[in-house]
């Protein structure tokens, strides 16, 4: 019996799995009462001394299961909600006629309490009280959900507008950045071409971090590859050979006093070519003090 009863109560799950969603929800509202009626009939027939209180106790379960329709249906699903509520309502109203149909009714067993018929009215009133309480609670919950859905929709719209505005701003910034980069590339190209034609290179040195920058023509003048490490300790010796001390002293004096220099020295490239190079150094000042040279 327990196995059959469990399979019977699992019927709504099987129906839902097969695609009968609304029908399974209606059956879920009805099936506890069918099961209780079956248990009531079997219990009365198998009991040798069934108590009259059993006819009232089972109706307490009716009241408990009467809230199922409000759990599985929304208030906007009026027809389905009414169909679900018919189960507990009809079970309460026709409780005695249904038991009489199976010959296990209250009067059929010889009970004759005069106040018994009022139990149906009492249970029905309790059902309406509980039902209306569930109805107003359900309406309060759904109104809150509606408000939450509205707020979530407004939040999603705001986020969408913010993303669109951000995308537009990022697009504009990217366009401006691309234009700036293109302009910078054009200027760098013009500068490199001008230096190549005039055979004039440029450099920059910063005291703070010891950074050194050379233009492309500087590498061409001294015959060095762009991968050459300009921070090597014997850079002056590599470039100027015996005249390295002259350039070093002039650079140190410039960085200390801000006095520029203009020298013409001989340089030997790694391939052995000898060149005469004119070197001019000027201070980079900040607040009246040299912070580098170029």
- pLDDT tens for 95-121 read 889 888 888 888 888 888 888 888 888
pLDDT tens digits, one per residue of 201-246: 777 888 777 778 777 777 777 777 777 777 777 777 777 777 778 8
Which pLDDT does position 186 carry in this prediction?
A: 67
Of 192-206, 220-234, 254-268, give the lowest mean pLDDT range: 192-206
Tell me: pLDDT of 83 over 80.
Answer: yes
Of 137-141, 167-171, 184-188, give the lowest mean pLDDT range: 184-188
Which pLDDT does position 198 carry in this prediction?
A: 63
Q: Please give the full DSSP string across the chain, using - where no structure is assigned.
A: -HHHHHHHHTHHHHHHHTT-HHHHHHHHHHHHHHHHHHHHHHHHHH-SS--TTHHHHHHHHHHHHTTHHHHHS-TT-HHHHHHHHHHHHHHHHTHHHHHHHTT--TTTTT---TTTTHHHHHHHHHHHHHHHHHHHHHHHHHHHHHHHHHHHHHHHHHHHHHHHHHHHHHHHHHHHHHHHHHHHHHHHHHHHHHHHHHT---EEEETTT--EEE-HHHHHHHT--TTS-TT-TTHHHHHHGGGHHHHHHHHHHHHHH---EEEEEEEE-TTS-EEEEEEEE-EEEETTEEEEE-
More confident residue, 244 or 29: 29
């Amino acid at each position: 019996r327990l196995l059959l009863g469990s399979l019977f109560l699992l019927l709504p799950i099987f129906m839902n799995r097969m695609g009968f969603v609304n029908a399974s929800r209606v059956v879920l509202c009805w099936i506890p009462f069918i099961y209780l009626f079956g248990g009531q009939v079997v219990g009365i027939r198998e009991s040798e001394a069934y108590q009259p209180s059993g006819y009232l106790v089972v109706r307490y379960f009716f009241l408990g299961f009467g809230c199922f329709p409000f759990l599985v249906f929304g208030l906007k699903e009026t027809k389905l909600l009414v169909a679900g509520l018919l189960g507990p309502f009809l079970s309460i109203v026709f409780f005695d006629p249904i038991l009489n149909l199976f010959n296990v009714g209250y009067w059929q067993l010889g009970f004759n309490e005069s106040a018994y018929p009022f139990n149906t009215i009492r249970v029905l009133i309790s059902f309406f009280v509980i039902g209306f309480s569930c109805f107003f609670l359900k309406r309060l919950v759904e109104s809150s959900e509606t408000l939450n859905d509205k707020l979530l929709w407004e939040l999603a719209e705001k986020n969408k507008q913010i993303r669109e505005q951000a995308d537009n701003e990022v697009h504009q910034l990217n366009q401006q950045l691309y234009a700036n980069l293109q302009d910078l590339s054009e200027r760098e190209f013009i500068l490199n071409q001008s230096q190549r034609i005039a055979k004039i290179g440029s450099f920059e040195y910063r005291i703070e971090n010891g950074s050194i920058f050379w233009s492309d023509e500087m590498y061409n003048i001294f015959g060095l590859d762009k991968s050459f490490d300009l921070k090597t300790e014997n850079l002056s010796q590599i470039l100027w050979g015996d005249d390295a001390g002259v350039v070093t002293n002039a650079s140190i004096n410039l960085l200390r006093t801000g006095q520029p220099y203009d020298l013409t020295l001989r340089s030997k490239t790694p391939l052995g070519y000898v060149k005469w190079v004119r070197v001019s150094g000027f201070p980079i000042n900040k607040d009246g003090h040299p912070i580098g040279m170029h």
